[in-house]
A and B are shown apart, each in its own frame.
Chain A
Amino acid sequence: MAYNFKEMMNKPERFTPGHRMCAGCGAPIAVRNVLRALKEEDKAVITCATSCLEVSTFMYPYTSWEDSFIHNAFENAAATCSGVESAYRALKKKGKIDDTYKFIAFGGDGGTYDIGFQSLSGAMERGHDMVYVCYDNGAYMNTGIQRSSATPQFADTTTTPSGTQSPGKPQYRKDLAAIIAEHHVAYVGQTTFVQNMKDLHLKAEKAIYTEGPAFLNVMAPCPRGWRYDSPEILNICKLAVETCYWPLFEVIDGKWVLNYKPKNKLPIEDFLKTQGRFSHLFKPENEKYIAIMQEEVDKRWEELLKKCEE
């Protein structure tokens, strides 16, 4: 599929300015680029889990969303979206709707990996024609940076603070994209903001226009939780990919495909040192934790290469 950056950026925005998201936040970048993958003539209903994204973009009586939009609760964006999609099928069958609609749900990692996990799993298994997009910033940012199952090991959050007796979050992060791929859904993609958004755009397009359930996992940094200078966001995303912390891959009808293989895989420190949430790891007594993290990144990367037959 062709990707023309200039052309893409000139498409009419379906997610309009004026919302209250922080400068340097990844969530609106994810949303704008996913929505750009919609054909202009196609209509959409957007579902959103309770999140920064929801409370900052749809505060009565204002909305930033050009398309129809529904927020229901924190843990049920997938189930809600499945209800909307079922209504579409029912009304289409009865001849009450002619237009083509697409169904996209957005949720943060808390609302997706944790509390919304069952709802997501159910909707994916039932085979609704919808896309669930997780904007993964690796913690409950809306409530004030608490750890989630997406939080990387050793990150400092308000419920896994680093201290004299703790190096931060003790556990590894859950690999949600792989878990959803195991549901044997039509399409799974993992991406972030690199290559002038090309990877994200192409995956969003495939996710939206592949019939059946699709899941996109988009790493979307949070300046408050990760503690970085706002303009650094794209550099951080690049380093996440170049260190193989956040590999770009997709699973199409069960086939794993690696989308990018760094020529020189960078050490994990290069990613960690860009963010305040890992700053404690650079104290001399904590360096062993960086080695542990490197080991885990390497292990997961090797597993991914095997799955992708690289």
Chain B
Amino acid sequence: MSIRERLSGNEAIATAMRQVCADVMPAYPITPSTELPQYFSSFVANGETDTIFVPVESEHSAMSACIGSEAAGARTMSATSSCGLAFMWEMLYVAASNRLPIALAVVNRALSGPININCDHSDAMGARDAGWIQIFAETNQEAYDNFVQAYRIAEHPDVKLPIMICQDGFITSHGVQNIELLEDDVVKNFVGEYYPESWLLNPEHPEAVGPYTNPPYYMEAKYGQLQGLINAKKVALEVAKEFKEISGREYGLFEEYRMEDADYVMVMMGSAAGTCKDTVDMLREEGIKAGLLKIRMFRPFPGEEIAEALKGAKVIACMDRTESYNSQDGPIGADVKAALFNAGMAPKVLNYVYGLAGRDVTVESLASVFEDMKTVDETGEIGDTYRYLDLRG
């Protein structure tokens, strides 16, 4: 029996963190993910979990301790946001290259500077090449469900990579929504016990982790990592199938919303997808064939599948909640265009930077993007392909 609740995204993730029965959680406070170590500490204080909480002195040490703990053979998790994730950056690569399936709850927030505590995706996007699996959520329910599925994907023998479960700072992390939680034992059985292939605390066989690696081995190690990441797509779909059996909720690599016959498709991820769905519904009533492709799994990037899903689209708008300063597109824009190119497709693609540092994303402003797509389609003129949405004049 699932449990109906009203929870914030952070409360939902904290609940999942308790239910997955991790062994160790090193963490450090930073807005807006601070509540996660807070909630978790109270679980520890009240004997509601066996997990050992390690209150480290920085995010760098949080990820360092995660690496030590996971390598030692313990299921390990942490939580962070923004500059905290940036401070972990060096260690993110080490976690991935050591093939350690750590789960990290990322509550997305703008990077400094200027300093700002509100939502955008610049933190996770900055870490997109670190070799981690990255999964994004539109709602509190999705954030919870994704965290429940996290270890099944990350720990799979064909994957063995760390995973970021991302949700939007404040918008979902502090926004309270109706949610259906799974019972503790259902989650426990679903996630299962962790049996690593090799670990430091194996009394039968001492293990060595983190060697100096010369050129004859380095590239092979990186290629092996890539294969694990590629496998994460298949594994995520298998895990989603099993998750549906216990929850009734369906997940893919991305969600297609009213895409069947859509001429104009918005590609985005995170909480603004909810606003986009309303926008699509409104435009459909007006007879405009609008659709949404909401990315759930950003790393590995499901390029082939996305290109296939965009086959019927006349104009596409890629929505990036970050600025990546390559001066021609954002991360979603770049990856979608590469996927289309690889598939031999050349539709018209606009790329928008939107909602930085918590700037409101409204139905009106997203409708203006669909309007722009329609204009491009009707005039054949694409104009500036890299645009800022709702920039004050």
Contacts and interface: CB of A to CB of B under 8 A. Distances in A.
Interface of A: 43, 45, 47, 54-55, 58-61, 63, 65-73, 75-76, 79-91, 93-94, 96-99, 101, 118-119, 121-123, 125-126
22 contacts: A45-B72, A47-B68, A59-B211, A59-B213, A60-B211, A69-B209, A70-B71, A73-B94, A76-B64, A76-B91, A79-B61, A82-B56, A83-B69, A83-B70, A84-B72, A87-B68, A88-B201, A96-B73, A97-B203, A118-B58, A119-B64, A122-B56
Interface of B: 23-24, 26, 50-52, 54-58, 60-61, 64-74, 76, 90-91, 94, 200-203, 206-214, 217
Contacts of A119: 57-58, 60-61, 64
B94 A86 contact: no
Contact of A121 (B52, B57, B76): B57
A90 B57 contact: no
A58 B200 contact: no
B68 A81 contact: yes
B68 A80 contact: yes
B201 A68 contact: yes
A235 B14 CA distance: 59
A65 B209 CA distance: 11
Contacts of A94: 23, 50
Contacts of A125: 57
A229 B60 CA distance: 40
B73 to A, nearest CB: 6
A83 B23 contact: no
A96 B90 CA distance: 31
Given A89-B52, A90-B50, A91-B73, A71 B64 contact: no
Given A72-B210, A119-B60, A83 B24 contact: yes
Given A60-B213, A87-B74, A88-B72, A45 B61 contact: no
Contacts of A93: 50, 52
A119 B23 CA distance: 22
B206 A83 contact: no
Nearest to B195: A96
B200 A70 contact: yes
B52 A71 contact: no
Contact of A122 (B61, B200, B217): B61
Contacts of B212: 54-55, 58-60, 71
A90 B23 contact: yes
Scoring B54, B55, B207 by chain A CB atoms within 10 A of each residue's CB, the highest score goes to B54
Given A83-B54, A90-B24, A97-B201, A71 B73 contact: no
B61 A87 contact: no
A84 B68 CA distance: 5
B64 to A, nearest CB: 4
Given A63-B211, A90-B51, A82 B65 contact: yes
Contacts of B209: 69-71
B23 A84 contact: no
Given A68-B200, A96-B73, A126-B55, 18 more contacts: A43-B206, A58-B212, A70-B68, A70-B71, A71-B212, A79-B61, A80-B68, A82-B26, A84-B69, A86-B68, A87-B73, A87-B74, A90-B51, A90-B69, A97-B201, A101-B201, A118-B61, A122-B58
B151 to A, nearest CB: 15
B251 to A, nearest CB: 30
A68 to B, nearest CB: 4
A58 B211 contact: yes
Nearest to B91: A73
A285 B149 CA distance: 72
A90 B77 CA distance: 13
